[in-house]
Structure 1
Amino acid sequence: MNTAMQDAPAGRQGGGKLGAMVLEARGVVMRFGGLVAVNNVDFDVHEGEIVGLIGPNGAGKTTFFNCLTGMYKPTSGTVTFYGQTLPPKPRAVVKAGMARTFQNIRLFGNMTALENVMVGRYCRTSSAALTSILHGPKYRREEAESRARALELLKFVGLGKSAELLARNMPYGDQRRLEIARALATDPKLILLDEPTAGMNPQETAQAMDLIFRIRDLGLAVVVIEHDMRFIFQLCDRVLCLVRGEALIWGTPGEVQSDPRVIEAYIGGSELEDEEDA
């Protein structure tokens, strides 16, 4: 851990001056009874930026992700997306332009890769129930458009030849990429990736890094939770380190990786076991 952090090069910049504010969290607190999982955390993401979220197990990273994406309603504090407060409803958050993947892959195993990505297009279709049941002209047009877009995204993430494979039969790394393709199918402005390289070998990790850079180059903002410090410090423009639900340091990769408190937090571990990060 220590060597990786010291040797990792500084984060790759998305391009100088920060763009418009995409996501802003101020004073976010999340309590579960007497447990304070997230305590007074500030966070912001700008257009064209890749931001990392790190911390030892139990730091509250996934809980904080859930506060940002409408899975949880924060006990206190505010979360705004392009200046608007979103309701704590995942579907509303996705329609507004925020998509995410999960620490534990959540694919439809008995559906093909193509069908999984097409599911992501559902929030961008408008066919009424009766039209869908009768397969009317509008439904057929939207279905064809969704299929075409899904095929484009499968090719974009490197799964162009896997469209007809059942998700459950795909290699682990491909399942990770498939989940990202499904998130991209919602046409997001911001995508949040929860441990996108977990369980990957070095070659797959390098491919994941390249994919995230290409997503950023499409004009999207990206937030990444990850335990691989070398990956984070090579990838991100800024990094927030959480420890026991609180912000330890928030800055450039160089500032974060050189802070002795970050090294101590990882070597010493965390006494707080947050099941969201387990």
Structure 2
Amino acid sequence: MTATSAYDQSAGAAGEVILQAEDVTMRFGGLTAVDSVNFTVRRGEIMGLIGPNGAGKTTFFNCLTGLYLPTSGRVVFDGAVLPPKPRKVVMAGMARTFQNIRLFGNMTALENVMVGRYCRTTTGPFTSIIRGPKFRRDEKAVRERSQELLDFVGLGHTTDHLARNLPYGDQRRLEIARALATDPKLILLDEPTAGMNPQETRQAEELVFRIRDTGLAVVVIEHDMRFIFNLCDRVLCLVQGRTLIEGTPAEVQSDPRVIEAYIGTGPEDATEPDRAADGSEGSRDA
């Protein structure tokens, strides 16, 4: 754990549970993508999710965020069972980014963030059509908050730039700003450093720490092990849809099963029964 992430790790570990997945299983026909996974995230904690390609990480993310309804098990967020409806999940206080960037390319950076902010406004359709006083107040507040978030992620200079014209690393940060605009209690980041150079990766790490320091819990899927182990308070490793190990970065990175999962299996695994990988994820699953 780096000095930067030394932000009261013990307090984070002892914090109140905000997200709990209980025996979550996801099947696609005869394929089991996620198999009875238990997962807990506490307030103010950075939790890492790792595993080789096809391990079920993105499918598990989709179960947590309402994109998939688990075949069995349940997801409890802030004391309530989450419905499998992404909008209700966002309104409850959970936001996410995606492995493949999903921005509105022909809208400006500010407009992209404003889209995320609108879920917290209460202006009705009639007032919006006639652009009444409440609409103007809400629009001003949305614009100001969105600019604050652009500044927070280091993109204050890109306000009027089209999203499609931004460098790749800036697009990643813009997507995080849009997720933050929904006022989440927990943010889930799916491969936030994919395709980034070392300098951009360091900037992403610093940004995640700043997000955590505002009081949010953070869950990160990432293949960059150095990034994960420097960043996270705890790490969960999935292999073939099952939990291999959960623990501190030091415990996980020293476990020989984790090394084996990434570089290949040994002769002692020859007697283990074969299990189908999640064909629905393929190379997309981070």
Q: Name the TM-score, length of structure 1 as normaliser.
A: 0.94
Q: Is 1:57–2:46 an aligned residue pair?
A: no
How many Å separate the matches in 2 of 1:157 and 1:63? 27
How many Å separate the matches in 1 of 2:216 and 2:88? 19
Partner of 2:146: 150
Partner of 2:252: 256
Deviations 1:100-142 (A, max 9, x none): 0000000000000000000001110011111111111111100
2:160 counterpart (160, 164, 182): 164
Q: Is 1:277–2:281 an aligned residue pair?
A: no
Partner of 2:190: 194
Partner of 1:215: 211
How many Å separate the matches in 2 of 1:89 and 1:134? 31
The residue type equivalent to 1:201 in the other structure is N
Partner of 1:3: none
Would the alpha carbon gap of residues 141 and 11 (structure 1) be closer, same or farther in structure 2, given more than 3 Å must change?
Answer: closer
SS of 2:114 mapped into structure 1 = helix
The residue type equivalent to 1:277 in the other structure is D
Offset, 1:10: 9.9
Offset, 1:9: 6.8
The residue type equivalent to 2:257 in the other structure is R
SS of 2:235 mapped into structure 1 = strand
1:112 counterpart (104, 108, 111): 108
Moved more, 263-272 or 161-170: 263-272
Partner of 1:5: none
**Native 8 Å contact 2:187 2:219 kept in 1:** yes
How many Å separate the matches in 1 of 2:157 and 2:112? 15
SS of 1:247 mapped into structure 2 = strand
Q: Is 1:77–2:73 an aligned residue pair?
A: yes
**Native 8 Å contact 1:53 1:224 kept in 2:** yes
Q: Is 1:37–2:33 an aligned residue pair?
A: yes
Offset, 1:271: 7.3
Offset, 1:75: 0.4
Q: Name the TM-score, length of structure 2 as normaliser.
A: 0.92
Instruction: List alignment gaps of at least 5 residues for structure 1.
Output: 1-7
**Native 8 Å contact 2:31 2:276 kept in 1:** no
How many Å separate the matches in 2 of 1:12 and 1:144? 35
**Native 8 Å contact 2:93 2:184 kept in 1:** yes
Pairwise CA RMSD of aligned residues? 1.7
Would the alpha carbon gap of residues 85 and 271 (structure 1) be closer, same or farther in structure 2, given more than 3 Å must change?
Answer: closer
How many Å separate the matches in 1 of 2:211 and 2:276? 36
How many Å separate the matches in 2 of 1:32 and 1:83? 28
Partner of 2:91: 95
Offset, 1:175: 0.1
SS of 1:161 mapped into structure 2 = helix
The residue type equivalent to 1:200 in the other structure is M
Offset, 1:14: 4.0
How many Å separate the matches in 1 of 2:41 and 2:129? 41
How many Å separate the matches in 2 of 1:104 and 1:212? 19
Offset, 1:222: 0.2
1:47 counterpart (30, 43, 47): 43
Deviations 1:42-75 (A, max 9, x none): 0000011000000000000000000000000100
Moved more, 261-270 or 124-133: 261-270
Moved more, 211-220 or 10-19: 10-19
